[in-house]
Amino acid sequence: MEEHTRIPYSKYLMVWFALVLFTGVTIMVAGLQVGGWSTFAAIFIAAIKGTLVLFYFMHLRYESGLFKLALTVAMLTLAVIMALTFADVSFR
């Protein structure tokens, strides 16, 4: 069974607790009415939560560099698509 990483249950519980906590934080921040910052905060917190799930629940942290490279390439592709779309939409 060496192929499969054993991670203590407590670590999973901690990640879950952090995820629930961040959900509370993101709802609280949305209620503050801080204008343009609320969008930024929502995306930022969602990114943290997503990263936690990817790295701990989906074990990305314990996978080889190939997995991380594949995700990076996908994310960069996404960033390019988004940047180009907004460059188009904003300056029409």
* Positions that interact with other proteins (CB under 8 A): 1, 3-7, 9, 12-13, 15-16, 19-20, 23, 26-27, 30, 38-39, 42-43, 45-46, 49-50, 53-54, 56-59, 63-64, 66-67, 70-71, 74, 77-78, 81-82, 85-86, 89-90
Backbone conformation region of residue 33, classed left if phi is above 0, alpha if psi is from -120 to 50, else beta:
left
Shortest reach from residue 51's CB to other proteins, in Å: 9
Structure tokens at 32: 């503050």
Take residue 43 and report the two structure tokens written for it: 């995306």
Cα angle 26-28-32, degrees, rounded to a multiple of 5: 115
Minimum distance, C-beta of residue 70 to other proteins, in the bound complex (Å): 6
- Shortest Cβ distance from residue 21 to other proteins (Å)? 10
Give the whole-angstrom CA distance, residue 19 versus residue 25: 10
- To the nearest whole angstrom, how small is the minimum distance from the Cβ of residue 76 to other proteins? 12
